[in-house]
Structure 1
């Protein structure tokens, strides 16, 4: 049983919350001003402090500036008429674990009470995670010891104990969903659902229904009521990957959910309440997406409360060898048959590669090598990497007299950056060079480049998308168009 202190100037609202807290088995006291709050806090340290931001005798947040060390183990929850960006940032700085939007929804308050965890317990759990990292190099689902990743771990430890919105940015394959999962697993919402949604993979015609749900008969084919992701993730965390791919008209509705905690299903006029923590991610430049009109500026501000930037694998030094070790151990557990290891030459080749597909590509390469290697040793034969990043093996086709060949040069440069550098015949699907004629339509050039990359990757769509720097949805649509 915990002891709660409610600081709220509206006496009716305070009584309602006190009755609900008491029904959940906790003791509770109410104060209607800062002076009363100081007096009650001196009488008994609260385990939970529900604090209104606007009190008759001052700003509620000023009360937090006066807190002494005896209150370090108090769970702080802010109550506000609107969850503004400024409130979220200031509350996080002062250690707020969550906030409730007024008028208080009883279900939200009940959910908050169900996930009460003392700050001291969270600190002890973080210490255990850090100890595991020092021993194994694993921080939750993430692997790495580099300085760049240690900075990410510190950010996760800081933000996980709060309720603020997190915005993760990094190249494709760097582990954005793993970071979101780590934040969820270390938060007070860990026992509630974690739902991951790739906004770029959902059909533009169905994305609103998938996210917010729909009523029966709201459109052709809607034969029953459907709960969207916000309802299914209630009480937990919703991870919106590739959020810059969300249609602009839907971004307006997402912004409303973030600001009010309410939404409506497609075909319904009834307002639904949701208690979900949103974590968003993108592999694009969000500011550029705003400038191009693909993302609303106000939505970016609302999502970007706590940004976490993930470094590409090529900037993580010895993490390549560490991740390789862990992946091979996982394969041994999953497949059986004993452990396998890489030769010194194979490790050197992995270290020299620039990894355009990042950790995802490394895992794919190692899994293929595991399957192909017959013994306990994996050598360079089964690593489909043919030159270090600094050795461009593909060159532009010879330019005709009277001028350069800008199209060929662009294509050749693109192939070099993709690592398609095996010196094979310039004709055929396995070619390391792609030659096009001046004046070729760009659509044809794009088609040839995509198909050549797809062939070089052995029909592996995920790696092809990573090498080309496009989403899986875009690649799927192009291959479907080319009937591959």
Structure 2
């Protein structure tokens, strides 16, 4: 049970909202002005603040001037129109969501069902951040490069809000994983996450799949069918390759984004949906608008919070972490373990990966099958394109390590050397060999980032 403060100057509207909130098992109180709202916030910080923008003594957004008043309160803006400006404003100020007037009881009920205090969300994000520092993983995403750190910060910032996210990146970069991460960190996590590839469905069927259809609306429609928007109600709908959606359908999608309504195929009755949209494309959206494949007004409505995913060739330092993860998964499936040789790992980092992370996984699966014994060498890895630099140039060590005749790097350890000293020499030599690259060092040694950090700290590095 939560407590709601409703800041609304229209007495009838305020009382109606309070009744709806109480019907869902929460307590509620109304305030017709900013002055009274400030006093009530100071007396009893609510779980949710339903905030009208136009009030007799100022703009509702003035409450954000005192951040302490709303620091641990879920703020929901109430506005007469769901515009791009409202979305951006809500995001900038840290509002969790917004409701369009007149308030739809179904939308309000759905919003109240997912109340989570901001402090709890921040604690979860802090936990994920700590996990990333130790392991190089952020939920289902893997990578410790600067480019991926930027992606993680953007996910953490937008997940707790209700604004639309637009993910751009080449095929195989992990756009759906980003969408799932946003959903899992949001207040909608307990509701469905559904994904649809707009380019993989026939143009004749996609409208029915997204919006549903009535029985008898077309040949073969023997029963009523609920589309993705109905099934994702309260949750998140991921529209992959949205630039492949037919133009006539883009108009209907725009209406859903603006007022949360749609109609099933063959119906004249409006349906209400409370669904967060996350869209993605592997194309340049501006170019898609230029050639008429994407409506400009839809692009503006989708592109509230853009996230750009880097291709794998621009974050080669993440390849060891990704390879380690994929080999772990293969090991669990096959009930055995295999590791990459240092030379094979360097070759993986040098390869340009036009198919990105998806291609890397496929390449490792093939090499796993073909490799004899517990080590995977270079033989079955993808061949470098003509004119590419040799792998060693990408990870040149800062100090020459002794080499065995015709073999790879090695260490000479005196028999009787204490294990702690053996470990120290091995870690430092590998660290030097990898050019002081921590992620690559941890991957070669088969230890976690946390263990490596602790050892380097112990060695005062």
Q: Is the 8 A contact 1:352 1:389 kept in 2?
A: no
Helix, strand or coil at the partner of 1:275: coil
Which position in structure 2 is the counterpart of 1:62? 62
Give per-residue Cα distances to partners, 1:55-88, cap 9 Å, x unaligned. Answer: 23332222222x2414200110111121111111
Which position in structure 2 is the counterpart of 1:40? 40
Helix, strand or coil at the partner of 1:217: coil
CA distance in 2, matches of 1:68, 1:116: 20
Which position in structure 2 is the counterpart of 1:478? none
CA distance in 1, matches of 2:47, 2:389: 61
CA distance in 2, matches of 1:114, 1:31: 23
Greater relative CO, 1 or 2 (CA 8 Å, sep 6+): 2
Give per-residue Cα distances to partners, 1:17-60, cap 9 Å, x unaligned. Answer: 21122222222100122233223223322221000122233322
TM-score, with length taken from structure 2: 0.82
CA distance in 1, matches of 2:387, 2:52: 56
Which position in structure 1 is the counterpart of 2:382? 384
Map 1:313-392 to 2 at 5 A: 313-336=312-335, 338-387=336-385, 390=388
Q: Is the 8 A contact 2:140 2:177 kept in 1?
A: yes
CA distance in 2, matches of 1:384, 1:227: 44
Cα displacement (A) at 1:116: 0.6
Give per-residue Cα distances to partners, 1:263-317, cap 9 Å, x unaligned. Answer: 1111111000000000000000000000111101010000000000000000103
Query: Is 46-55 or 299-308 further displaced after alignment?
Result: 46-55
Query: Is 172-181 or 77-86 further displaced after alignment?
Result: 77-86
CA distance in 2, matches of 1:302, 1:20: 30
Give per-residue Cα distances to partners, 1:441-468, cap 9 Å, x unaligned. Answer: xxxxxxxxxxxxxxxxxxxxxxxxxxxx
Give per-residue Cα distances to partners, 1:166-201, cap 9 Å, x unaligned. Answer: 000011110000000000001110110000110000
Cα displacement (A) at 1:135: 1.2
RMSD, aligned CA: 1.4
CA distance in 1, matches of 2:56, 2:222: 52
Cα displacement (A) at 1:379: 1.1
Q: Is the 8 A contact 1:8 1:33 kept in 2?
A: yes
Map 1:84-483 to 2 at 5 A: 84-336=83-335, 338-387=336-385, 390=388
Which position in structure 2 is the counterpart of 1:14? 14
Relative to structure 1, the CA distance from residue 91 to residue 389 in structure 2 (aligned partners, 3 Å threshold; closer, same or farther) is farther
Which position in structure 2 is the counterpart of 1:23? 23
Structure 1 residues not aligned, in runs of 5+: 393-484
Which position in structure 2 is the counterpart of 1:449? none
CA distance in 1, matches of 2:57, 2:264: 41
Which position in structure 1 is the counterpart of 2:444? none
CA distance in 1, matches of 2:58, 2:251: 34
Helix, strand or coil at the partner of 1:145: coil
Cα displacement (A) at 1:373: 1.8
Q: Is the 8 A contact 1:353 1:388 kept in 2?
A: no
- The count of residues paired between Structure 1 and Structure 2 equals 390
Q: Is the 8 A contact 2:42 2:69 kept in 1?
A: no
Q: Is the 8 A contact 2:38 2:69 kept in 1?
A: no
TM-score, with length taken from structure 1: 0.79
Cα displacement (A) at 1:388: 6.3
CA distance in 2, matches of 1:340, 1:16: 64
Helix, strand or coil at the partner of 2:379: helix
Structure 2 residues not aligned, in runs of 5+: 391-461
Helix, strand or coil at the partner of 2:344: helix
Cα displacement (A) at 1:103: 1.3
